[in-house]
Every structure is written in C-alpha cells, then in structure tokens.
C-alpha cells in the first residue's frame, strides 16, 4: 500500500486512482472517517480522466495512530508533504467537513501557485464554536458533549451520531443502514487520541484569515438541513470571505453525503472540475 513519511516519522496512507497524467484532485475526509469516505467521488473523477488522490489524515484510517500533531496546522503540513512527494500541480482540492478546513488551511499556507480550484461540502470554516463574534456558532457545551461521548463509549456514540449525520432522525429519511454502518466502521478505525484531539480542531480553529487568502475559484456546497455544521455559521459566511466563491445550498440535505444528495452533489462537482 502507498504511504509517504512526514518529517516527524508519521506514515500517511493515500490512494491514487485514474490517469497518472490527469489533473490531480485531492479529496480530504471528515471526522472521524478516512479517505474511503470519498470512494464514489474518486471513481467519478478517475472515470473522467482525472488523477484522484485521497489520503487518511494522521491518526485516521491506515495512517499512523499519532499521539502528537493532531492539529490543523500539522494536518495541512502533512497534506503539503504528500503534494510535494507526488510533485502535484494545478490541483483541485475537495474537502468535506473537517476536510474542508484542512484544504482551506493547506491552500492558504502551502498551496499558492499549486492549487487551481477548491470545492467544499458541509465544511467547518470559518469557525464552528459560538462566541461573541460568532453568535451563529454552536455552543462549546455541544463539543464538550462529543468529547464526553467519545470517552464514555466511542462505539455507541458513533452509532448514535450517524443518525443526525445522515439526517436519519428526520421524517421520511431514506439513508441506508449500510451508510450508517460505514460511518461507524471508518470511525472505529481511527486512533483514539486523534479522534479526541480533532474535536477541538474542527470546532475551534478559526479559518477566517485563510479564507481571505484564497483567490482561486471555490465551490461551496452545504446541506440546508445540516445538523452537524449549521450553514449559518459556515457556508453562508465562507462565501463572503473568499474572492471567487459560489455557494449552492442543497435544500433538506444533511451533513453526510449519501443518497439523492450525493447524486446531485456529484453532478455539480464534475461540472466544477471540468469548468
């Protein structure tokens, strides 16, 4: 299996599909998942002539279960190490949830001159946690509850979290049991320290300055019924902070990408990649 090794010895697993000479698309996954969460979109990209790459963030999936470095700056540096190891240029970045934060931080700190486009879905920027300057955010007590749930019984907590993640708690929801099981399976592959530490990173990291540095086209997708990353504190603010952003709201769609939402989003992503 392909890995790159970072300066601190962490092994980062990645998948590399499609045309090796095609324009690279890097997919960054959400918490607490792995690159496998993007398999459908990776196949879509590869089938259309792109080079599709997805890595497992440190501490997640098949990458090293790190005790240190589970922070957004290191995540972005790890992605930079992967980009440089593969000598990637003219990159399209795609990030979901926490992965949306990772690609934004990478683009602002490391991607100038290498990144061509960015697409995010249900992404955490600018900042999730509620404060005086971010009254639309989620109260810190909610994230403390996530920490408590992970510590008390991570397996059961992930099973319960899958319900609002995919909107399965809404009347008429059509999400499959398989999708919820996959969320649990990928989450349980992650290292415990990384799962716990990343909660602070996706909830409290402020990406406002990063967004201001992004001058490439950015497609910002968000479910109108996202119960995990509320749109008012996220996409609706992000589109105002970037220089060339387009916001599309998928009415009634949840945080997790599945079913009809996935089908519609994938059509839009392909159009954006080819534009």
Pairing of strands 91-96, 218-223: unpaired
Pairing of strands 11-18, 51-55: antiparallel
Cα pseudo-dihedral 38, 109, 104, 182, rounded to 10: 30
Going by the DSSP 8-state scheme, the letter that residue 13 receives in this structure is E
- Alpha-carbon span 29 to 219, nearest angstrom: 16
Q: Which residues pair with 250 in a beta bridge?
A: 223
DSSP 23-86: PEEEEEPPTT--GGGGHHHHHHHHHTT-EEEEEPPTTSTTS---SS--SHHHHHHHHHHHHHHH
Pairing of strands 115-121, 218-223: parallel
- Alpha-carbon span 166 to 183, nearest angstrom: 10
| Residues labelled catalytic | 97, 226, 255
């Amino acid at each position: 299996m392909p890995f790159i090794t970072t300066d601190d010895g962490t092994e980062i697993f990645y998948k590399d599909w499609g045309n090796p000479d095609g324009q690279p698309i890097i997919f960054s996954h959400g918490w607490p998942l792995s690159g496998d969460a993007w398999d459908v979109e990776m196949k879509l990209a590869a089938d259309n002539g792109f080079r599709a790459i997805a890595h497992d963030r440190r501490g997640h999936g098949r990458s090293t279960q790190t005790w240190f470095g589970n922070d957004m700056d290191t995540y972005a540096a790890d992605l930079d190490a992967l980009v440089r190891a593969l000598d990637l240029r003219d990159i399209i970045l795609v990030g979901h949830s926490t992965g949306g934060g990772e690609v934004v931080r990478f683009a602002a700190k490391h991607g100038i001159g290498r990144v061509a486009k960015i697409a995010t879905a249900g992404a955490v920027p600018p900042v999730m946690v509620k404060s005086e300057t971010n009254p639309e955010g989620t109260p810190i007590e909610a994230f403390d509850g996530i920490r408590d749930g992970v510590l008390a019984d991570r397996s059961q907590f992930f099973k319960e979290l899958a319900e609002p993640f995919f909107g399965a708690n809404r009347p008429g929801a059509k999400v499959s049991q398989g999708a919820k099981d996959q969320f649990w399976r990928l989450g349980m592959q992650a290292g415990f320290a990384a799962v716990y530490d990343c909660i602070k990173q996706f909830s409290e990291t402020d990406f406002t300055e990063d967004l201001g540095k992004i001058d490439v086209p950015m497609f910002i997708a968000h479910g109108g019924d996202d119960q995990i990353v509320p749109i008012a504190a996220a996409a609706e603010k992000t589109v105002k902070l970037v220089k060339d952003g387009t916001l599309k709201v998928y009415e009634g769609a949840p945080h997790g990408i599945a079913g009809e939402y996935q089908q519609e989003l994938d059509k839009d992503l392909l159009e954006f990649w080819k534009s």
